[in-house]
Amino acid sequence: MSGNGEGLIRLEGVTKVFFTDEVETHALAGVHLEIQKGEYVSIAGPSGCGKSTLLSILGLLDSPSDGKYWLNGTPVENLDMGDRARIRNREVGFIFQSFNLIGDLNVYENVELPLTYRGMPSSERKERVINALERVGMSHRIKHYPSQLSGGQQQRVAVARALVGSPSILLADEPTGNLDSKNGDAVMELLRDLHRSGATICMVTHDPRFARYAQRTVNLFDGRVVEESEAEMTTSAGAN
């Protein structure tokens, strides 16, 4: 096991097995994956192939059954829940299909929430929240509540919440899954702009149209990486 190179994320031989009654489900089977700083990677594949399980492990929401995981050069596969939570709060920004905004908090409070867990001074929190909301074009809705926003607007707020802590990587799980095509396209353009400004993004999607926004697509099937393809400069989906 030599040095970790420049990889922001590196998985070696990662497996995940779920046990229910007498059934053993191998959700991931020997996954090797490296994501460089500043890269935009799409994880694609059919339903049930292990995409969300892989994202949960990348985001330190779950631990692998076996294998190695380095995040920013630090081995994180065996950390306890408290250490995982601390690293997750600083290193990872999540964007979920269902937005996961808190209904009784307004836009500002939703975006500020991850920072409150860091014990950050309120003046610094305010500056970061305003900046994040400006980046996603939602600073004019700062006092609104999620129920007063469209789905596309809620997802923009969720992106701001993911960005506000300046994470090492943004993890997006089917970020357009609950949006119509117009709002889906707008959110994908937003992610593309964030990538162009230096963000590292790993996105799970089952929509080949959106997978093409990424520089590289990693295809999963039955818990294994079966193919990787680089994006072409044209609208082609890359080699099959």
Mean local confidence (pLDDT), 224-231: 84
Q: Using the predicted structure, report yes or no on whether residue 203 has a pLDDT greater than 90.
A: yes
Cβ atoms of 8 and 36 within 8 Å: the answer is yes
Query: Residue 101 maps to which CATH number?
Result: 3.40.50.300
Angle between helix axes 122-135 and 107-116 (nearest 10 degrees) is 130
Q: Using the predicted structure, report yes or no on whether residue 4 has a pLDDT greater than 80.
A: no
Mean local confidence (pLDDT), 86-94: 92
Residue found by looking up tokens 């994880």 in the block: 43
Note whether residue 71 is domain-resident: no
What is the per-residue pLDDT for 232? 59
Note whether residue 198 is domain-resident: yes
What is the per-residue pLDDT for 230? 82
Q: H helices within 100-180, ranges in order?
A: 107-116, 122-135, 151-163
Domain count, the chain: 1
SS (H, E, C) the chain: CCCCCCEEEEEEEEEEEEEECCEEEEEEEEEEEEEECCCEEEEECCCCCCHHHHHHHHCCCCCCCEEEEEECCEECCCCCHHHHHHHHHHHEEEECCCCCCCCCCCHHHHHHHHHHCCCCCHHHHHHHHHHHHHHCCCHHHCCCCHHHCCHHHHHHHHHHHHHCCCCCEEEEECCCCCCCHHHHHHHHHHHHHHHHCCCCEEEECCCHHHHCCCCEEEEEECCEEEEEEECCCCCCCCCC
* Phi, psi torsion values for 30, nearest 5 degrees: 70, 50
Cβ atoms of 153 and 160 within 8 Å: the answer is no
Strand arrangement, sheet containing 66-71: 23-36, 7-20, 66-71, 74-75
What is the per-residue pLDDT for 240? 34
pLDDT 10s digits, 139-153: 999 999 999 999 999
Note whether residue 21 is domain-resident: no
Note whether residue 166 is domain-resident: yes
What is the per-residue pLDDT for 7? 85
d(CA 112, CA 81): 23
Note whether residue 30 is domain-resident: no
pLDDT 10s digits, 5-58: 468 999 999 999 998 888 888 899 999 999 999 999 999 988 888 998 999 999
What is the per-residue pLDDT for 145? 98
**What are the structure tokens assigned to 56, written together?**
């949960």
What is the per-residue pLDDT for 23? 87
pTM (predicted TM-score) = 0.87
Note whether residue 69 is domain-resident: no
What is the per-residue pLDDT for 1? 28
> Which pLDDT band holds residue 235 (cuts at 50, 70, 90)?
very low
Note whether residue 49 is domain-resident: yes
Note whether residue 214 is domain-resident: yes
The secondary element (H helix, E strand) that includes residue 204 is strand 201-204
Mean pLDDT, all residues of the chain: 89
Task: Note down the domain range covering 214.
Answer: 38-63+79-230
What is the per-residue pLDDT for 22? 82
DSSP 8-state symbol, 203? E
What is the per-residue pLDDT for 2? 33
